[in-house]
Amino acid sequence: MSSLIDKPTGFCGPIQALEGDAVLVERLYEIGLTPHEWVKIKQKMVLQGPLIIGFRQATFALRREEAQCIKV
């Protein structure tokens, strides 16, 4: 399993697991990211900026630390 930050822009696939810092994982659950949920990387910002992802008709910006907790 690799993290979401390792995938290229345009990647679309299901979340396998959420792993990492408990506070970050809790935040991901609160916004609706759960295992088996499909996510799409819409854009990766330059200079280690956030990832723009889409899921369930919503768009979110995730910090790299948060995106690293998402295993796909």
Q: In the prediction, which pLDDT does 42 show?
A: 94
Tokens 């991901």: give the residue: 28
How confident is the model over 35-53, as a mean pLDDT?
A: 91
Q: Is the confidence at residue 49, as pLDDT, over 90?
A: no
The per-residue pLDDT for range 24-39, each reduced to its tens digit, is 999 999 988 999 999 9
State the Cα–Cα distance between residues 17 and 37, nearest whole angstrom: 10
First to last CA, the chain: 6
For residue 44 the two structure tokens come to 């990766």
pTM of the complete model? 0.86
Q: Name the average pLDDT for the chain.
A: 91
